[in-house]
Amino acid sequence: MRVLITGGVGFIGQHLARHLVGRGHEVVALDNLLGQVHLDPAASVNAFPGSVTVGDVSEPEDWERLERPEEFDCVVHLAAETGTGQSMYEVDRYRKVNVGGTGLAAGFAALHAIPMVSLSSRAVYGEGRHACTDHGVTFGERCCSRATPEPSIESDDHRPVSVYGLTKSEGESALQSAAATIPVTTIRPQNVIGPGQALHNPYTGVLAAFLAMLKEGKPLTVYGAGTQTRDFIHVSDLVTIIAWAVAHPSDIGTHRVLNAGSGVRTSLVELAEHAMGGAPGTTHGVTHLDVHRAGDIDDACADLTLLRDVGAPLPTWSTRDAVIDFIRASWQEDGAPADAWDRALGELEERGLTS
């Protein structure tokens, strides 16, 4: 197969490309080598096991520069702006890339009759599903203190609370008309972790922040009580699911949507413990910062029933092992200093986006 991977030079794209090439496929990347993600763009391009077209998915003319479009067997659309907090003030950029870019990807795939696999996010669920003895199943904000979070199901309502989540939701809608003529699978990953995760981007995930703090011998900064939960999926488990979707196109006329997570809920305090467990040498515990970032949610977890029912591979990494794998693989890598995350938080504070 010849597979186009948008955002292919990034974290998930590099893993996916190696996975596909290892199975005899050819990969081509369309990637804008965003400075926020790629400190050394040439090294990122060199690491990609295929050809790279430098271009922006949200610019129509960049799609026209792709060679031999009719020879692609699949378009895997990964390119996106991914910072939840940053999305709250870089609204136009997030909308242009995540909605406009996804629309152009779908238009390209439909024009050339190529099956498509697109990455959305669990952020479309926002606070997600709750069960309550008094109020039954509800979505979004908790109905009362008796409500407990439940895993999100693909058919659940979209209730995004960040601009990022909203643009991912609108991006999914942009795929709807393409799904009438080509196979389209949308995958909604939970929090993806693993070797190769961007370490220079302070708008990226909490685990990269914890790594920077551990390396500098600082306590881990947990925003709030640390009882917030996330579902962490190892990048290799996500890549196995994406590759399965590439090999098993959905039926035309059905926009197939699949969750991708571990199905296990982990609190930030537990995450910090796993991270400290993977760090060599002495660690300095956790400090709690009394702050809430606009757009942050309390709880996230994927329901994996549909993934299992369609016959897709289920995740194999435990959260603890995935965290330790990330910490050990990244320990010797350069990354942004811990205070870069403080500055990213400061940018939100300056704009009144914290409480």
Out of 44, 118, 186, 190, the residue judged to bind ligand UD1 by CB under 6 A: 190
- At its nearest, how many Å lie between ligand UD1 and the CB of residue 170? 14
Residues 295-314 that bind ligand UD1 (CB under 6 A): 296, 300
Q: Does residue 118 belong to the site contacting ligand UD1 (CB under 6 A)? A: no
Residues 6+ apart with CB under 8 A from 165: 84, 121, 123, 124, 125, 126, 295
- At its nearest, how many Å lie between ligand UD1 and the CB of residue 41? 20
Cβ-based nearer residue to ligand UD1, 206 or 239: 206
Residues 6+ apart with CB under 8 A from 306: 153, 154, 258, 259
User: Which among 75, 73, 55, 51 is positioned nearest to 63, based on CA atoms?
Assistant: 55
CA distance 10 to 327: 19
Q: In which residue are the tokens 């391009």 written?
A: 45
Q: Does residue 221 belong to the site contacting ligand UD1 (CB under 6 A)? A: yes
Cβ-based nearer residue to ligand UD1, 69 or 337: 337
Residues forming beta bridges with residue 96, ordered by sequence position: none
Residue 65 CA, chain-centre distance (Å), reads 27
Whole-angstrom CA distances from 168 to 94, 114, 204, 261 are 9, 22, 16, 17
Q: Does residue 83 belong to the site contacting ligand UD1 (CB under 6 A)? A: yes
Cβ-based nearer residue to ligand UD1, 44 or 221: 221
Helix (H, G, I), strand (E, B) or coil at 81: coil
Helix (H, G, I), strand (E, B) or coil at 90: coil
Q: Does residue 229 belong to the site contacting ligand UD1 (CB under 6 A)? A: no
User: Which among 297, 324, 355, 59 is positioned nearest to 160, based on CA atoms?
Assistant: 297
User: Which among 92, 72, 93 is positioned nearest to 20, based on CA atoms?
Assistant: 72
Cβ-based nearer residue to ligand UD1, 225 or 247: 225
Q: Where does residue 96 rank: exposed (0-12), middle (13-18), buried (19+ CB within 10 A)?
A: middle
Q: Does residue 230 belong to the site contacting ligand UD1 (CB under 6 A)? A: yes
Out of 27, 106, 222, 279, the residue judged to bind ligand UD1 by CB under 6 A: 222
Residues 243-282 that bind ligand UD1 (CB under 6 A): 268
Q: Does residue 209 belong to the site contacting ligand UD1 (CB under 6 A)? A: yes
Q: Does residue 82 belong to the site contacting ligand UD1 (CB under 6 A)? A: yes
Out of 15, 122, 215, 255, the residue judged to bind ligand UD1 by CB under 6 A: 122
Out of 236, 341, 348, 354, the residue judged to bind ligand UD1 by CB under 6 A: 341
Out of 14, 44, 102, 121, the residue judged to bind ligand UD1 by CB under 6 A: 121
Residues 29-58 that bind ligand UD1 (CB under 6 A): none
- At its nearest, how many Å lie between ligand UD1 and the CB of residue 293? 5
Q: Does residue 159 belong to the site contacting ligand UD1 (CB under 6 A)? A: no
Contact 18, 236 (CB under 8 A): no
Note the residues at the interface with ligand UD1 (CB under 6 A).
82-84, 121-123, 190-191, 203-206, 209, 221-223, 228, 230, 268, 293, 296, 300, 341
